[in-house]
Structure 1
Amino acid sequence: MRFNHKMNYTLLLIVVFGGFSIFGISENIKGPALPNMQLELNLSDGNLGLLLAINSFSFLIACTFTSWLIDKIGTKVTSILTFLLMAVSGLFIYLSSNFLSLAGGYFLLYLGNGMLEIGLAIIAARIFTRNTGTMLNLSHFFYGLGSTVAPILAAQMMGWEISSTILGWRGMYMIMLSLSLLPLVPVTLSRFPKGETEETNERTSIKKLAKDPIAWLIVFSLSMAVTAELGIAAWLVNYLVKVSEWNLADASGMLSIFFFTFMLARLLLGPVTDRFGYTKSIITFSFFAGIISMIPIFAGDRFAILFAIAGFGIGPIYPTMMALLAKKYANGTDTAITFTVTLIGVATVLSNLLIGYIIEFVTSLSLRPTYVASNQLGMQAGYLFLALTAILCGTTCLEIHRRLKQQNNIL
C-alpha cells in the first residue's frame, strides 16, 4: 500500500508538472505566430485584441463550469476531456482560413486551457498541503519551462519544409497541440483525491467570498498580474518587430529569455515566498516587474534585455497568490480558486480588448509623418499599459497586506 501510495503521488506529480508544461506551450506559441497570422489574414491590431479577448472569454466560460464538472464526473474524466479538447483545437486552427475560423479554433483551445487551469489548481491544492508556496511555485515553474521552449521552437517549426511545403503557423499549431495527448497516460493510471469539493462548498460559498473585500482585492491584483503576464507573451514579439525593427527570430528569442527568467524565478523563489510572506513577496515582485518593463520604452532599444528580466518579477506572482488563497481560504480552496480565476477571466477579456484598442487609438492620434512611425508610438503606449498593470498589482496587494495585518492574519 505504501508503494502504491507513493506511485500514485508520483503519477499525480507527473500530471501536474506535465499539465503545466503543456499549458505553457499552448498559451505561448502564439507570440511568434501572431505577426504571420496578422499578415496572412489581413488582421488589424484591433482584430488581434479582439482575438485575444475571445480567448479570455472562452477561458472564462471554462472556469465557470470546470469545478462543477469535476464534482459530477470526477477529476480523471475531466482531465481526459481537457487534453483531448486541446489536441482537437490544433486541428481546427490548422484548418482555419479566415478570422472567424481562426477565432473558433482559438475558442476551443482556450476552453481547454481554462479547464486545465482550474483542474490543475484544484489537484495541486489538494496534494500540496505542506510548503504550499514552494510546491505551487515549482508546479508553475513547469509552466515557465513550457513557455520558454515554446516561442523558439514555434518560430523554428514555422520555417520547417515538409514535402516542399513550408509548415507555417497552422502546421506548427497542430503539431505542438498534439503534445496534449501525452499526459493522458499518467492521467489514466492515477487515482485522484476525492471528497474535498463537497466539504469545502459547505464551508465557503461564493456568496461569502462575494462579501469579502479581501477576496475582491485578490481578484483585482491577480487580474493585473495576469494581464501583464499574458500581455507580454502576446505583444512582446510584435513590439520588438514593429518598434525596435528586430527580425522574428531575434524577437522570439527575447520572449524565450523572458520566459526563462520567469521560469527561473518560480524555481528559485518559492521557498523565499514561504519565509518572507506571500503579500510582501507579491508587492516586491510586482513593482520590480513594472518598473523594469517601463525602462526600455523610454530609454530605447539598448535596454531591451530588461523586457526579459521583468520575468523575474512577473513569474512568481500567480503561484504565490494561489498559495495565499489556499492559506486564507483553507476551508474552501476549490471554491476560492473557482471564484478568483473566473473573475480574472472577465478582467482579462476587457484588458486584452483594451490593449489592442489603446494601440489603435494612439496610432490614429499620432502626428508622426508615416503610419509605421505612428504605429510604433501606439505599440509603445500599449506596452506602457502592460507595465502599469504590474504596478497596479503591487499597489492593490499593499491594501491586502494592510487588511490582513488588521486581522492579525498576515500571509
Structure 2
Amino acid sequence: MIPYGRQDVRQEDIESVIEVLRSDFLTQGPKVPAFERAVAEKVGATHGIAVNSATSALHIACKALGVASGDILWTTPNTFVASANCALYCGADVDFVDIDARTYNLSVEALRAKLRESADNGRLPKVLVAVHFAGQPCDMEQIRDLSNQYGFRIIEDASHAVGGKYQDEYVGSGNFSDVTIFSFHPVKIVTTAEGGLALTNDESLAQSMRLFRSHGVTRAPEQLQQEPPGPWYYEQVELGFNYRMTDLQAALGLSQLERLDEYVSRRHELADLYDSLLEGFPVTRPYRASQRYSGLHLYPIRIDPSHDRRKVFEGLREREIGVNVHYIPVHTQPWYRARGFGWGDFPAAEEYYREAISLPMYPSMSDQQVEQVVAALEEALALK
C-alpha cells in the first residue's frame, strides 16, 4: 500500500540515535538543548522549548499565556482536536471560527465579524490558535492586526508547516504571533518519532513554558524563593507536567533537520506533479496562496459532489492507496456536541469535510507512485 504519509529515516539518522544510546545520557542530556537551538536558529526565533508532543506544546503555551477558567480560546474547526483541547486542559472554554473556502484555513473575514459581535457582548477570546492547515500559513499579518485591535494573544499551530514560509520568513520566526507550535510526529515534515516544540521571542513566555514542561521544578537562582542551602537544591514553583523530550528523540530531530529544505522542496515537486496530472478531473486541487510557501504536509483534494466521496475513498483503499480524511470538524465530535456545538454551526468547514480526501504525500514518494495514485483515482471516479 502507498500510505498517505510516512517518515524518511536514513542511515545517518540511525547513527545519530545509536551515538546517544552509547552515551551517558538517554533522556535529559546535551542533545535536547542543541535541538532547541538548531530549530530556533533555522526559523529565526529566539527560544525553542522541546517537548514530547505538539499537544503538550499547545498546553504549555496556553498555560504560559495565562489561559484559565473564565477565559475563552478560539480556533478553527478544521483541525485535529488538540488545537481546541489545549484550552480545556486549562479550564477555559472553546469556540470556533469558520474556514476560508479556498485555503481551508481560518477565515479572516469570519474572524473579523465574530470579533465585532463578541466585543459587543463582552466575550472576546484570550487566545486565538491559528492552524496552518496542510502546511499553508494563515494570513498572519491580518490576524496580528486584529489581535492588536481586540487584545487577544496568538498561537500559531504550525504542526503541518515546519519548513513553510510566510512573506519570505520561515514559519516560527514569531513576527506575527506570541508562540508557534511544531510537531515532529512521523508523518510530519521531519520527525523525532514523537515530539513537539514551542517557539517564542518572549523571554518570560519561554521561562514559563520550560517550567511547565518539567514539573514546575527549577534550579535557576533567579526563580528560587530562598537562598539554596547547597548545589543539590531545587524548588517546585509551578504545578507543571512531565512533557520533556528525550536525547534520543532530539538526536533524531537534529539529523532530520539537516534535510528540512530538501524535504519541503520535494513535497512541492510532488504537489506540482499532482496538480498537472489531476487537471480535468472532477476534483478541486489544493490552493497555494501567494506570499506563502506551504510545508505541504498534506495534499487534500475535494471530490465534486456529483461523485460519492465514500465510494471514491473506499475505491482508493481497495486499490492499495492509503488515503485519509483531514479533518472531521472538531465541533461535531461528541465531546463538543455535548457542550452545545453541532452540525450547521460552521458550514464552510462542514462542506469541505464532506468532500475531502487527502492523497499520499511524503518526500520519499516517487513520481511513479504519484502516477499510480492518480490512475487509481481515475478508476475510483469511474472516469476510464
Q: TM-score, normalised by structure 1?
A: 0.30
Richer in helix (by share): 1
Q: TM-score, normalised by structure 2?
A: 0.31
- Rg larger in structure: 2
